[in-house]
Each structure stands twice: as C-alpha cells, then as structure tokens.
Amino acid sequence: MEAAAAAVLPSGSSQELHVLAVDDSYVDRKVIEKLLKISSCKVTAVESGARALQFLGLDGEKGSLGFDGLKVNLIMTDYSMPGMTGYELLKKIKRSSAFREIPVVIMSSENILTRIDSCLEEGAEEFLVKPVKLSDVRRLMKDCVLRGETEGNAGRRFDKRKFEDDNHNHTPSLSSSSSSTPSPPSSPSTTAPFEGDVATSELVSSSPPYSSKRAKLHGHD
Amino acid sequence: MERNPLRRQLQIMRKSLFDQGYLDEQFVQLEELQDDSNPNFVEEVVTLYYRDSARLILNIEQALERKPYNFHKLDAYMHQFKGSSSSIGAKKVKAESTLFREYCKSGNGEGCMRCFQQLKKEYATLRKKLEAYFQVARQAGPMETACRPK
C-alpha cells in the first residue's frame, strides 16, 4: 500500500517519483513532505514560486534538471502564496517548453469553482482541497503521474474533466495510457501494475474523495 | 480497551479531544503518517504549528492596535493562520478563524476583536491539552492508533 508510487512505475526504472512541493506554510510543507515520502516519493519542498522556478532552472541560472540533477515528475503547489501565486507558477511552467509536460497539481483551502476552472484551463492536472489527505496523494500517484508521464496535456485534461463528471473508475484510462506509453523500454512490464490494480479499482469505486469534493463544489452554487 | 494503564489514559485523553470538538479528522490523518521511523511526527507538526503561528498571532494583534482596521490585511493573516490550524486538525481554532474572516469581510471591527480574544483562548487551551497528551504519549511509548472517533 505504501509503495504506491514505486509500484506503478515500469519495473525497468528503479527510480522513485520526484515531487516538487511548493507552499509558503512551514506546517503544510512538513505535512506534504511526509505524505509524499510515505507514498515512496522523493520530495523537494520549497517555500515559494520563485524558489520553485529557481530549482527547475527556469530563472535562467541552471540547466533544466535542477540542482542535483533529479528530474521532477510532479509539481504540487499551494494556490495562495505571497509574491507569486500557485496559479502564476502554473502558467509559467506550462509556458515553458522544458517543463510544460510536468503535471502540476494545485492545492487550496478555498473551494472556489472559478478558481478551480481557471487552474484546470491553464493545464493543472488536479485541484486538491486542503488539507490534503493521504488518500489524495495515493490517488495522485496512480492517477496523475502515470497518465501525466505518458499522454499529452490537452487530451488528458479533457478526459479528466469528463470522467470526473461521469464518476467512472480509473482503470480504463490506465489501460489506454499503458498502450500509448512511448518512453519506458520495458513495455511488457507496464502490465504488472494492473495486476495490482484490483486494489485500485476497489479503492476508486468506494466513494472517491475527489469526486465528493467536486460534488460539494457543485452544490456550492 | 488498552490494558496498559498509560495507554488507556492516552486513549481516554485522545477520545476526549475528539468528543469535545478540539480536534477533527485531519489530526487522524497526521497520526496515520506517524510510523517507527518517525514516531513523534504528530508532536513535531503540532510544535511547529505553535511556533510558526505565534508570529501570525502577533501580526494580527499588532494590526488590531491600528485604527482604522485594515480588514484586508487582517483577513490575509487569518487566512494563513486558518490554513495551518486546519492542517493539524485544530477544530475549534479553525472555527474561530472562519468567524474572524467573516467579520473582516463585513468590516465588523468589534466582531473581529471579540472573536480574536476567543480564538486566542481556544488556541491556548488546545496547546495545553496537546502538551499533556504528548507527555503521556511519550511515557506510554509507541501505540497503535486504536479507536477512531466515529
């Protein structure tokens, strides 16, 4: 259960997912770091959008791999931050040729539909309502990163919105992403995660937390 | 029910914190992140919260000394404070934060002031209770988070 992130990666690569977490709250950084570590991710936690860009090398100083050469597989950023907001950071990332493919997840304590829509429009993978739970992170690991690493942005974004509304489970899209996987050399091994996905579909079919948040949103009018 | 008296005491304290509404589900989330490699994780986060939020409390206090109130600034500080409080599952503190923000939005200075006094009380009470709780927890040694407050 804890090795979620490691399990869904093609077995050819023994790398853990590297997540860049951005939040101005010290407490929230500590919590998100732990949530991610428990889900078998490498974490770099920074306190601002500016620092995040610096780490990625988007401030023009370093190369595109960040300080220690670790590729970033996912960016999770708080929305409300002083200076650069998470939304502004998202835009900068999606407008950079080097990093636009990295899935970006926005976290916010405020459940504002227009905010969520603008983030998704700008290419955010997901919008998580804070406080973030372990189940949110686990779902991200299976849902967002695997698809983010294998499909193009636009198609995936529309698929995501569609299946949220339909409230379907995730297994069908996981299947489709594995068949379109271009990069991992060990394509037969991508079937391995699906054996473990019996557990996934059980998880998903029992009231996915994100859909319930989404439902709460819609009822918020 | 725990046989070990310390653990039983801990269980009772914990249940009471939930039953009396001091803590919510998010605290349980933190407990789920605690493991052998990090057996004091919850206490560390709570300690960090109190240390970090002290700064915000002070900022709000100072802002409430300047009239006319800058509601925008007050709201911004409280937004941050509420976020952290929410992250540790501080239910009553979070409720007061929400109320404070309502008063800010409606430009009710009196309301802000009153609410802030209440918030500080809840904040201090929670701290005392959690300090006592963690003290027993440390004495009791590692414990499974047995009964969830449902």
Which chain B residues touch A25 with a CB distance below 8 Å?
A: 52, 80, 83-84, 87
Q: What is the ipTM of this complex?
A: 0.89
Burial of A24-52, coded b for 16+ CB within 10 Å and e otherwise, reads: bbbbbbbbbbbbbbbbbbbbbbbbbbbbb
3-state secondary structure of B27: helix
From the CA of A105, how many Å to the nearest CA of chain B?
18
Give residue-wise pLDDT tens across range A112-143. 999 999 999 999 999 999 999 999 999 998 87
Express each pLDDT in B108-136 by its tens digit. Answer: 999 999 999 999 999 999 999 999 999 99
CA separation for the pair A10, A74 (Å, rounded): 17
Tens digit of pLDDT for each residue in A183-202?
444 444 444 433 433 443 33
Percent of residues, chain A, with pLDDT higher than 90 = 48
- The dihedral built from the CA positions of residue A23, A110, B129 and B148, taken in this order, carries a sign that is negative
Instruction: Note whether B33 contacts A25, CB cutoff 8 Å.
Output: no
Which of A1, A29, A31, A129 to probe the B interface (max B CBs under 10 A)? A31
> Which chain A residues are closer than 8 Å to B37 by Cβ?
none
For residue A36, the chain B residue with the least C-alpha distance is B33
The alpha carbon of residue B5 is apart from the nearest alpha carbon of chain A, in Å, by 31
pLDDT tens track for B60-82 = 999 999 999 999 999 999 999 99
Give the phi and the psi of residue A112 in degrees, each rounded to 5.
-105, 120
Q: Quick check: B73 contacting A, CB < 8 Å?
A: no
Q: Which of A28, A30, A38 sits opposite B83 (nearest CB)?
A: A28
Q: What is the mean pLDDT of residues A199-216?
A: 40
Say yes or no: A112 contacts chain B, CB-CB below 8 A. Answer: no
Q: Does B32 touch chain A (CB under 8 A)?
A: yes
B83 contacts chain A (CB < 8 A): yes
Report the CATH superfamily, name and number, of domain A17-147: Response regulator (3.40.50.2300)
A219 pLDDT band, cuts 50/70/90, is: very low
- Inspect the interface and report whether the beta carbons of B87 and A80 lie closer than 8 Å: no
In 10 A of CB A198, how many CB atoms?
10
Query: Taking the domains of chain A in order of start, what are their residue ranges?
Result: 17-147
pLDDT confidence of residue A212: 38
Are residues B48 and A25, on separate chains, in Cβ contact within 8 Å? Answer: no
Of residues B62, B129, B69, the one with CA closest to residue B93: B129
DSSP H/E element including A75: strand A74-78
Residue A150 has pLDDT above 50, yes or no: no
- The average pLDDT across A141-149 equals 67
pLDDT of residue A65: 52
Partners of residue A35 in chain B, C-beta under 8 Å: 33
Q: Which pLDDT band, with edges at 50, 70 and 90, does B143 fall under?
A: low
- Does A25 contact chain B (CB < 8 Å)? yes
Residue B22: the pLDDT is 98
